[in-house]
Chain A
Amino acid sequence: MISHDVLVVGGGLAGLAAALSSDPRLSVAIISRVHPLRSHSVAAQGGINAALGNNPAGRDDNWEKHAFDTIKGSDYLADQDAAELMCRLAPATIYELEHLGVPFSRFPGGVIAQRPFGGAGFPRTCYAADRTGMVILHSLYEQSLKKQAKVYAEWLVAGLVVEDGKCCGLIVYDLTTGEVFPVRARAVIFATGGYGRVYLRTTNAYINHGSGIGIAYRAGIPLKDMEFVQYHPTSLYGKNILITEGARGEGGYLINNKGTRFMADYAPATMELAPRDIVARSIQTEIDHGNGFENEYVHLDLRHLGEKKINKRLPAVREICIKFAGLDPVRTPIPIQPAQHYSMGGIDVDVRCATAVGGFYAAGECACVSVHGANRLGGNSLLDTVVFGKIAGREASAFIQGGGSAPGGERALADEAERTKAKINEWSRRDSGTKAHELLNRLKVVMSGDVGMFRTRKGLEKAIAEIRSIREDYGHVSLGGRCFRYSQVLVNIIEFDYMLDLTEVIALGALNREETRGSHYRLDFKERDDRNWLKHTLVTLEGGKPRISYKDVALGKYVPQARTY
């Protein structure tokens, strides 16, 4: 049986940061369902926040102000100690990335350039044009080559094995050989990313099924604040490819079919640079009120920035528009609409990235510390992945060195692998049956329709019933063939099981939270209710059923106030 001290699942930013910060004396390996460079982190465009004060307009910035913006942006649901930790570590994190080779854009004088972003009091988003995620991912991957980190690419994790409250390893489906087998580990770090593909419109990559979150849930670990789903205001109409918030940070306007900058009606002080939940809802409201184009989109107008600035600061946005929409933003406004973008919720972890299961850690989008609360600010997710990825790597190493890991577990691992194989055989023997992609389409329709940007009790109840009915049909799913090598269909079937779990948890959390906070907008409860709801939702699988409980938010010096922009 393959065995490692630390297994990191996911080769994106959080996963690579975790692997690189694990103790080099331990045997560490990364498992990823794609080659690490194909991870979704690569698609992050606009930048990474840190209060460096390099922008002339940001001289008075400091990490406390960054923390305040983050907490206010979260609609006060972020744990203040966690948000402060992340923002305090941010400047050193940026310099560390720079020392590892990240080619940040520069200001005159040679310092790292910083641009304004939504919900931020100062321009503090460091960037490399509009390819920030890509250059950081490549730099961390380069470091993993330098350190000769072990990477198992194109392995899908199909299950997590826990014995006596301690994690002992994983079940893996190896796409390259088609085999299923257990892998033993003394500590496991999940950095498996988000679940955007449970929605019809998402900026996420095709691979973002979110099964990692479901796998942890199935192993008995609570999921936290899953009802908070971020919609990005500006995705390219048609393909829903991300058009960075940096486009507005550089001065882009949002325009409706009357030719007006409608954000003046919603966030007069910050206009296009209000936080994402507010801008996304404003755009959708304009479209719903007949002020959009073709009842589908509004315009993001960059023309006044000029060709030179667009080429310098937003070259990838221009390339995407030309290639995928056949229009040049230098001459034509970009048709945009909101699309699912990010999960604020995730696997319940503390500031050390530890979970309720000994030896099991999580970091990045799949985890919920919580630093983003009910709404994440743009530029904070890359920061989250690197800061907490590193913490996870160090903490998992310390856990092993402190003698905390479970011995053995081989029996339980082998048994679980056999169970997984039996399931796969059943799927492949079934000649006719439901197809996973048809079920996924049904799930997407219900999630987008009833668990989307605007929610009601009636819709959420309907959604939960429909998700449970899809689960019944999942019982008859068929693989259609016995070839298991490079079978994305098999990947989809394995992951779909967990997608049903996590979508049910999202809908349940949303149904129970009878208030509006950040991205969670209830048409039947339009106000924030701090007296009853300033708390985290926890959903735990117990006896095959979800159990809801709540946990207090770690408050601090920032007292909840009305959130106006």
Chain B
Amino acid sequence: MRFDPQVDQFPYFEEFPFEAAGKKSVLEALMEIRNNQDGTLAFRYSCREAICGACAMVIDGKFDLACRTMVEALNTSVIIVEPLPNLEIQKDLVVDMSPFWEAVSRIGPYLFSGDQPEGGYRIEDKEMEKIEQYTNCILCACCYSVCPVVARDQRYVGAAALAKLCRFVQDPRDKRPYPRLAEVNAQGGVWSCDTVLRCNEVCPKSVRPADGIEALRRKLLIEKLKRVFRKRP
């Protein structure tokens, strides 16, 4: 899909011929098209090994990283490549990621460290395994873009941000004060999720962010109950 908001009124599709020889990724195809056919074709990329998260887009209707999507595996003669939805198009396949980054920074996406033992913490590996699922997140924004709640309510922080929050809440080193956690107990937080689980489906790193949302909901309920009982005379 092509679109330059400074020139075009609407996005449109343009077809480029491409001969897939060998095991080419969609990203490699886009680069060849840019080099040989149209130098103005805009898209993001960096690592080409599915770890940096730069090249997320919609390929034949599927949310994925262009670098890890192989042309031959798509098994089709025409590949439709579109920018991530729910974010404004800057040019062609490049979208404005700032609402996504702002959503991530809203939840306090860093360790609230308590004591800092000089010789390091003692944490059993099973504790680290609990958060591994979430630390695999590369913040590619696939889950944010696919989310129907984000589409209708821009206040919703989205699955990636909440999965990141869960990663910290479940980290034994994190000493986040309850009010900071309770921020996602409000509008745009954990209760906004419709649990349609599209985020789990599209995540290229198998993070299953909805598990994190579910865990945060449980944590908030337990915290609330604790507070109710503590207030009793």
Partner of B34, one of A101, A326, A488: A488
Given that A34-B54, A38-B46 are contacting pairs, would A481 and B120 also be in contact in the complex, using a CB cutoff of 8 Å?
A: no
Are A37 and B53 interface neighbours, CB within 8 A? yes
Are B173 and A101 interface neighbours, CB within 8 A? yes
- Of residues 158 through 194 on chain B, the ones whose CB sits less than 8 Å from some CB of chain A are 168, 171, 173-174
CA of A52 to CA of B121, assembled, Å: 13
- How close is B233's CB to chain A, nearest CB, in angstroms? 40
Partner of B90, one of A104, A241, A486: A486
Are B50 and A323 interface neighbours, CB within 8 A? yes
Contact with B along A35-59 (1 / 0, CB 8 A): 1011110110000000010000000
Contacts of A108 in B (CB 8 A): 124-125
Check A261 for interface membership: any CB of B closer than 8 A: no
CA of A147 to CA of B111, assembled, Å: 12
Are A241 and B49 interface neighbours, CB within 8 A? yes
Contacts of A37 in B (CB 8 A): 52-53, 138-139
CA of A111 to CA of B121, assembled, Å: 7
CA of A52 to CA of B68, assembled, Å: 37
Contacts of A316 in B (CB 8 A): 51
Given that A105-B125, A324-B68 are contacting pairs, would A142 and B52 also be in contact in the complex, using a CB cutoff of 8 Å?
A: no
Contacts of B125 in A (CB 8 A): 105-108, 110, 113
Contact with A along B195-232 (1 / 0, CB 8 A): 00000000000000000000000000000000000000
Are A206 and B68 interface neighbours, CB within 8 A? no
Given that A142-B109, A205-B48, A207-B46 are contacting pairs, would A110 and B135 also be in contact in the complex, using a CB cutoff of 8 Å?
A: no
Partner of A42, one of B51, B92, B97, B171: B51
Check A268 for interface membership: any CB of B closer than 8 A: no
Contact with A along B7-44 (1 / 0, CB 8 A): 00000000000000001000000010011000110101
Are A95 and B120 interface neighbours, CB within 8 A? yes
CA of A131 to CA of B139, assembled, Å: 15
Are B120 and A100 interface neighbours, CB within 8 A? no
Partner of B128, one of A43, A104, A241: A104
Closest-by-CB residue of A relative to B134 is A103
CA of A103 to CA of B137, assembled, Å: 13
CA of A109 to CA of B124, assembled, Å: 6
Check A545 for interface membership: any CB of B closer than 8 A: no
Are B39 and A487 interface neighbours, CB within 8 A? yes
Contact with B along A82-122 (1 / 0, CB 8 A): 00000000000011001111011111111111000000000
Contacts of A481 in B (CB 8 A): 39-40
Check A220 for interface membership: any CB of B closer than 8 A: no
Contacts of A206 in B (CB 8 A): 31, 45-48
Contacts of A476 in B (CB 8 A): none
Contacts of B52 in A (CB 8 A): 34, 37-40, 42-43, 205
Q: For chain B, what secondary structure do more than half of its interface residues adopt (helix, strand, loop), or is it mixed?
A: loop
Closest-by-CB residue of A relative to B5 is A485
Contacts of B127 in A (CB 8 A): 106
CA of A320 to CA of B67, assembled, Å: 11
Partner of B122, one of A52, A110, A113, A326: A110
Check A145 for interface membership: any CB of B closer than 8 A: yes
CA of A324 to CA of B50, assembled, Å: 10
Check A437 for interface membership: any CB of B closer than 8 A: yes
Contacts of A145 in B (CB 8 A): 104-105, 109-110
Contacts of A42 in B (CB 8 A): 47, 51-52, 138
Check B154 for interface membership: any CB of A closer than 8 A: no
CA of A145 to CA of B128, assembled, Å: 23
CA of A186 to CA of B163, assembled, Å: 40
Are B120 and A98 interface neighbours, CB within 8 A? yes
Contacts of A52 in B (CB 8 A): 120
- How close is B114's CB to chain A, nearest CB, in angstroms? 10
CA of A498 to CA of B68, assembled, Å: 30
Given that A435-B35, A487-B40 are contacting pairs, would A131 and B110 also be in contact in the complex, using a CB cutoff of 8 Å?
A: no
19 A-B residue pairs with Cβ-Cβ distance under 8 Å, sorted by A, are A38-B47, A43-B47, A43-B52, A98-B120, A99-B111, A100-B110, A101-B110, A101-B113, A101-B174, A103-B132, A103-B171, A108-B124, A110-B123, A134-B51, A135-B135, A320-B49, A481-B39, A487-B42, A488-B34
- By Cβ-Cβ distance, the 6 closest A-B pairs, closest first, are A101-B111, A110-B122, A486-B42, A142-B110, A106-B125, A38-B46
Contacts beyond the supplied A38-B46, A101-B173, A103-B131: 15 A-B pairs with Cβ under 8 Å: A37-B52, A37-B138, A40-B46, A42-B51, A43-B47, A95-B118, A98-B121, A105-B125, A106-B123, A109-B122, A110-B121, A205-B52, A207-B46, A316-B51, A485-B6
